Structure 1
Amino acid sequence: MSPTSTTLRRTGTLAALTLAGVLAAAGAASAHVTVHPESYAKGATDGVLSFRVPNEEDTASTTKVQVFLPTDHPVLGVLVTPQAGWTAKVTTTKLKKQVKTDDGTITDAVSEITWTGGRIRHGEFQDFDVAFGQLPDDTGRLSFKTLQTYSDGSVVRWIEEAKAGADEPENPAPALTLTAGGAGAEASNGSGGAAGSDADSAAPSSASSSKDTKESTASDTADDSTARSLGTAGLVVGVLGLIAAGFALARGRNARP
């Protein structure tokens, strides 16, 4: 085999492996279970969180989704939005530390929501909406560990915590960033209502809040998809540049006397 052929073969192999890695990484990133919007103001009231669950299996459907809500920094006044074909089971837990609000002292909070009965097939995703009365104001991040069960019995555990400065874990738990209050607090605060609220007070404003949050989620999702597409396109262009450089090098060597 000539030096030129060897160079071209090696360049083509390297380019193919690089491109495959880029596309695999892009696919893996989009398959995570996520929560939307990605941030709210600390202590926000009367809002909606949407848990997006994509199906990443080719031959099995998602048939059960379990979302675990933190109880050390509890989410108060949780209400579940009905989902066609799905049945939600809400589990409450007695809090180790009671939470005082303007409406009284809260001793129990939702710790788990389990959806069953429906199916998320290959190439599909499902949004599970949860309205809340009040988010905690004593932490900057909430992690919602999630279990995704498939029709073949396999379970994906989205429970790994992302650490500052480290690469994203393979199965990260959906996480919500809580920002400090201020000028942008009302925008992240759903209705911008009073801080104290329970499940009953969350209900009247959940419809308008859900609409606003859905529009925000759609915008965030579009921006995120665009950013991922541009990033992937940039990497693909880099791979094509590598291929072109390989061919140029091969031609240069072949032209030498």
Structure 2
Amino acid sequence: MKMLNYGLRATLAMAAFAISLPAHAHITFENKEVKAGSTVKFVLRVPHGCAGSPTTAVRIALPEELTETKPQPKPGWTLDVTRIEAQGDGSGEDGHAAHGGHDDAVIKEIAWSGGRLEDAYYDEFVFRAKVAEDIAVAAIFVPVVQECEAGVERWIEIPSAGASSDDLKFPAPSIRILAGS
């Protein structure tokens, strides 16, 4: 009888754990840490849809600490970028000039749309960017809006100083910054 109770409790505990998994499956970066001043391939992981609904768009807002951004096109998805005028003189001296004929503009948002990522699957969305060399923060937060056929999830919460992203329901993906060499 004791064995049956133990087995039943173990089964119920595993079921409760499995049910709780989607609530903890946040959008994250593959990179956990990057060096200041380096150019990095950022891989954004989207592990699920919105409450079971397929993902149809992913939009990211780039913080000022990331420059010289180049998004990777994704087959089956439309890629759009939003640019703003650079703060420098366009010479590239300020570290904000982008390559590829857009020397007077900085990418501030990347959006992949028109695709369909079923809730049962995960996918990755990729861009390359240079991390500012003279960065004064310990981590970079990159707000993401995930649009689905039914619903939207805004992964935009940034913890206050000294707090943890673990305490947030919809934390923005983050990357720890290491001192450059």
Contact 2:49–2:148 (Cα < 8 Å) also in 1: no
Number of residue equivalences: 168
Find out whether 1:79 has 2:74 as its counterpart. Answer: no
Q: Give the CA RMSD over aligned residues.
A: 3.0
Match of 2:45 in 1: 52
The one-letter code of the counterpart of 1:126 is: D
- Structure 1 residues 24 and 180: CA distance shift in structure 2, 3 A: farther
2:127 aligned to which of 125, 130, 145? 130
2: distance between equivalents of 1:13 and 1:99? 66
Deviations 1:90-137 (A, max 9, x none): 011235xx469x9423364211111111110121112111012x2113
- For structure 1, which segment, 50-59 or 31-40, has the greater mean C-alpha deviation from structure 2 after superposition? 50-59
Q: CA deviation at 1:53?
A: 1.2
Contact 1:78–1:110 (Cα < 8 Å) also in 2: yes
1: distance between equivalents of 2:32 and 2:179? 14
Gaps (5+ residues) in structure 2?
97-103
The TM-score normalised by the length of structure 2 is 0.76
The one-letter code of the counterpart of 1:88 is: L
1: distance between equivalents of 2:107 and 2:172? 18
2: distance between equivalents of 1:88 and 1:27? 27
Contact 2:49–2:117 (Cα < 8 Å) also in 1: no
Match of 1:36 in 2: 30
Deviations 1:214-245 (A, max 9, x none): xxxxxxxxxxxxxxxxxxxxxxxxxxxxxxxx
SS at match of 2:67: coil
1: distance between equivalents of 2:113 and 2:61? 15
Q: CA deviation at 1:18?
A: 4.6
Match of 1:172 in 2: 171
Contact 2:41–2:128 (Cα < 8 Å) also in 1: yes
Percent identical residues: 28
1: distance between equivalents of 2:70 and 2:163? 35
Highest Rg: 1 or 2?
A: 1
Structure having the larger proportion of residues in helix: 1
Match of 2:93 in 1: 104
- Structure 1 residues 92 and 21: CA distance shift in structure 2, 3 A: same
Structure having the larger proportion of residues in strand: 2
